Chains A and B, each alone.
Chain A
Amino acid sequence: MDVRSYDGQPSGHAGPLLQVTNLKKYFPVRSGLFSNVSAWVKAVDDVTFDIKSGETFGLVGESGCGKTTVGRTVLRLQEPTGGDVLFEGQNLFAMDARTLRATRRRMQIVFQDPYSSLNPRMTVGSIVGEPLKVHHLAKDRDLTDRVCQLLDRVGLRPDHYPRYPHEFSGGQRQRIGIARALALNPKLIVCDEAVSALDVSIQAQIINLLKDLQAEYCLSYLFITHDLNVVQYLADRIAVMYLGKLAEVAPAETLFSDAKHPYTQALLSANPLPDPTVKHERILLPGDVPTPLNPPSGCRFHTRCPHVMEQCKTTDPPLIQIGKPDAGHNVWCHLYSG
C-alpha cells in the first residue's frame, strides 16, 4: 500500500512547516437597519507560533478562548483579520483562489463532531474519494482502489464503501473523517477537538491511530483540545490559550513539570490525577472568563490572576523566554520580565 505515491511537489523549504505570525480574527457584531458593525469580538488576537515538520503541536484552552478559530483561520477556512500564515514558506493569506486550492492538498482538517462532519446524502466511498476527485488525482477503478486502501488504513473495511454515514458509530465516523483528510497526503492536519466527542475507549483507539499515521506519513498535527491528558500523551509542544491570546508555549514535558504562567498553573491544577492518594493543591481562579467583546486592558488574565501587579492592568505582557533560548519555553507574563 503506497498511499503517498502522488505526493505534491516536494518542498525544498527548510524552515518550520507552518509559521503563524500575529494572527488576528475579529468577528463583527452587526445591528440596526443596514447591519452596521457595532462591535468586534476579538476571538483571536496576535497569536504567534510555529509548527515543525513531523511535530504535534497541542493547543489547549477552555471553551470560547479561540482555539477552534485559530485552527480554521490558519487553514483560511475563515478570512483572517490580520497577521500572516506561512505554510511551507508561502503566505496563505496572500494567495489567490487557485494557488490556495492547490495548497489545500497539503493541509487538512479533522472535525470535532463526527455526526455533522460527513454529508448525510453521500456514501462513505464518495466522501473519502471527493478530495481525489476534486483535484483530478484519480478516477473510476483507480479511485475506488485508492479509497478502499484509505478505508483499510484507518481500520474500516472496503465493504463499507457504498454505505451512508448514518449507518456508522461515532468512532467509525471519525475514522471516515480521518480517511478523507488523509486522501490528499497532507503535510499538516488540524485536529479540531478530534477526539473530544468520543467516549474514552474509542478516544484511545483514535489517538493511537493518529499516532500510527503520523509515524507512517510524517504528518504534523495542530492538535486543538481542552483535554490536558490527551495533549500530554500526544503533543511535542503545547500552547496554552486564554481569551484569544497565547499565555505560554513550551515543550510538553516542560509545561507539565515547570509551568510558568499563572493561568497554566491553574489549568494544570484543575486536571484530575489518576492517583487519588496524591494530594495536589487546587488553584482556584476567582470570577468568570471576561467577554472577548470587551477584553480587559493590559494582560487579559489580570482580572483573575492571583499574582496581579499594577503594570498588568495597563500594559500587554511581552514575550519572555524561560531558560535557554533554544529551550522553546515562552511565556507572556509580567512576573518574569524583571
Chain B
Amino acid sequence: MSEAKDLTDDPNQSAEELPPSETPWQESLRLFRKDRLAVVGAYVLVLLLFAAVFGKVLTEWVVVFDPEVVRLPEKFLPPLTFSSPDEVPAHDRPFGGIYLLGTDELGRDVFARMLQGSFVSLSIGFIAVGISLAIGILLGGLSGFYGNVRFGVVTVDTLIMRFTDVMLCFPTFFLILTVVALLPPSIYNIMIVIGLTSWMGTARFVRAEFLALRKQDFVVAATSVGARDRRVIFAHMVPNAIAPVLVSATIGVATAILTESGLSFLGFGVQPPYATWGNILADGKGFIFDAPWLFFIPGMAILVVVLAFNLVGEGLREALNPKLRRR
C-alpha cells in the first residue's frame, strides 16, 4: 500500500503545491475574455436581450411606449424632437414628450417600434436556431452513431446524409419565400420555416464529431465498463461534440435575424402593423431623402446585432478550440 503511494510520478509535488483547479468551461471562459472584440459583442448581445425583454413588456403589457399610436400632425419628425402639446392629445403623447428616434410617415414613434421589433427579431433568431439545432443534432447524431445500420442496400448514414445534401441544394431564401407565400404570414410560420431550412450545417458538424469521437478510447472505455448507448451518447459524446455546434448556432442566430429582416423587407415576413426591424426598414425606403433615420436606424440595428453575434461566434470558436488549450 505505502509502496504504491511512493510511486506517484512527481514526489516533489505535495498537496499544497497543486495548482488551482479549472473546469474545461472555466478555461474556455478565460480564453474568451482575452478576445476584446468578442467581449464587446457579448455586451451588445446582453444589451439587446434587455431591450428585447423590456421592449416586450413596455410595448405590450405595460404600455409605456405605444408603437401603434398614429399622430398625423407629427409625422417625419427627426430623432430627439419634442412632441408639441398643442397638436397631439395628451394620451397620445410619447413617454417623456420626446421622440428619441423620431417618427415615421404616420407619426408613429420609431423608438417604440424598434423596441417591439427587437423582441421579434431575437425570438425568431433563437427559436429558429433552436429548431435547426434539434433537427441537426438528431439527424447528425443518428448518422454518426447508428450510421452503419443497414436498410437493404443503403445505410442509415447514406440515407440521412444524402437527404442533407438534397436540402443543401435548394436555394434556401427562395424556398423560404415560396413556402411563406403559400402559408399564412405569421411570426410562428417564419420561425419554423427558417428552422427547417437551416439545420444541414449542424447535422454535418455533429456527424463528423460523432464519427471522430466513436473511435476515441474513452468512448470505447465507456462501452467496456458496460454503459448503455444512451449513456455513451449523452454523457460522453454530446458534451465533447457540442463546442463547434455552439459556435455555428451563434452565427446561425445572426443569419436567422438577417433572413427574417430580408423577408419582412420584401413583405413576406411579419405583417404590419406589427413592427419588425425588417418592415420598419421597408417602410422607410420610400423616404430615404426626406427622412433618412427611418431606414438608417433599423439598418444600423441589424448590422450591429449581426456583427455582435458573429464576433461572439468567432470568439467562442477560438475559446473552444482544443488546439489552444493545454492538455
Contact = CB atoms under 8 A, between A and B. Distances in A.
A262 to B, nearest CB: 35
B220 interface: yes
B9 A135 contact: no
Contacts of B19: 167
A119 interface: yes
Given A120-B24, A164-B24, A104 B225 contact: yes
Contacts of A200: none
Contacts of A184: 225-226
Contacts of B153: 34
B279 to A, nearest CB: 44
Contacts of B24: 120-121, 164, 166
A121 B226 CA distance: 19
Interface in B253-293: none
A154 interface: yes
B226 A105 contact: yes
Contacts of B235: 119, 122, 130
A89 interface: no
A131 B231 CA distance: 12
Interface in B61-77: none
Interface in B184-229: 216-218, 220-228
Contacts, number: 109
Given A155-B4, A157-B15, A159-B15, A117 B225 contact: no
B327 A166 contact: yes
Contacts of A131: 225-226
B10 A169 contact: yes
Contact of B227 (A35, A109, A130): A130
B239 interface: yes
Nearest to A118: B218
Interface in A103-137: 104-105, 108-109, 111-113, 115-122, 130-131, 134-135
Nearest to B152: A34
A113 B217 contact: yes
B323 interface: no
Contacts of A154: 4
Interface string B308-327: 00000000000000000111
A151 to B, nearest CB: 11
B240 A120 contact: yes
Interface in B10-26: 10, 15, 18-19, 21-24
List the 7 shortest-distance A-B pairs measured between CB atoms, nearest first.
A117-B217, A131-B225, A104-B226, A171-B9, A101-B226, A111-B217, A119-B218
